[in-house]
Amino acid sequence: MARTIAIVEDDPDQRANYADAITKKGYRVFAFASRQEALAGFDEALPDLVILDIILGEEVDAGFQLCRDLLARAPSLPVIFLTERINEIDKISGLRLGAWDYLAKPISLDYLAERISSLLRISEVRAEQGDARLSATARRIGDLTLDQEALLASWKGQRLDLSGTEFRMLAKLVRAPGHAVSYETLMNATMQSLVTNNTINTHMRNIRKKFEKIDKDFAAIKSEYGYGYRWSSDV
């Protein structure tokens, strides 16, 4: 069965263009023009991936509200923000909510299709492997286990619900435990444009919070003021 993609976009031309391009890639597409329409659709069934604009009609933060609602229902659901709002505070807000990606308009339709395909592959491998199974690419660093194939991480045997970006940053951070990793290196790990030090700090806060949900005494990620972060090998 074809994977389902939901698009929430109030501009009818953009909505039609996205839907047409994604449908041609073999996906089943549901397109909604407003937050209310999207909520009604999601009450019927949740898709495999959601693309959200932030401003929908008169609601300037509708996409953020939808993201919050969706991830409360399905924490592992891949969510992509696709928006003209590319200032840092909006991007940080989206990442804090748990979005897997934050893309700026205008966008190449081929690139959008590739991002969808990539995130769905990650989601599928995670679902197939689950918490207990590890691939040949799995690596252990003390109490931390990283599965590079599925972009899965676990701490003390419990799964960390990281986005793909958060996983890549964590993998870069623990590549050499005890050594400081620069902001620039961590920016490269995000595979995103328009990344600043504050964006990296937001990602790191999110990653820490996810560790702390499992282990309230977690303290392995150390800040190196003005430089970047370090994974403490002593923890």
Residues 117 and 200 in one domain: no
Residues 181 and 223 in one domain: yes
In whole angstroms, give the CA distance from residue 156 to residue 228.
25
> Mind listing the pLDDT tens digit for each residue in 68-98?
999 888 888 999 999 999 888 888 888 888 8
Residues 165 and 108 in one domain: no
pTM score? 0.66
What are the angstrom distances between the C-alpha of 108 and each of 14, 62, 95, 113, 137? 12, 24, 22, 9, 32
Residues 86 and 51 in one domain: yes
Residues 140 and 212 in one domain: yes
Residues 137 and 113 in one domain: no
Domain coverage including residue 158:
131-231
Q: From the first residue on, what is the mean pLDDT of each consecutive set of 10 residues in the chain (235 residues)?
A: 93 96 96 96 95 95 94 90 90 85 92 92 72 62 85 86 86 92 91 81 92 94 94 74
**Average per-residue pLDDT in the chain?**
89
What are the angstrom distances between the C-alpha of 33 and each of 28, 150, 222? 17, 33, 43
Residues 53 and 138 in one domain: no
CATH number, domain with residue 221? 1.10.10.10
Residues 171 and 221 in one domain: yes
Residues 46 and 100 in one domain: yes
Q: How many domains does the chain have?
A: 2
Residues 177 and 219 in one domain: yes
**End-of-domain residue from the set 99, 125, 151:** 125
Residues 157 and 108 in one domain: no
| Tokens 């419990």, located at residue | 158
113: nearest Cα among 11, 29, 8 = 29
- Both tokens of 137, joined, read 């690419």
Residues 110 and 150 in one domain: no
> Mind listing the pLDDT tens digit for each residue in 178-212?
999 999 999 988 877 678 899 899 999 999 999 99
Task: Please name the residues in contact with 68: beta carbons below 8 A apart, sequence gap of 6 or more.
Answer: 97
| H/E stretch holding 199 | helix 197-214
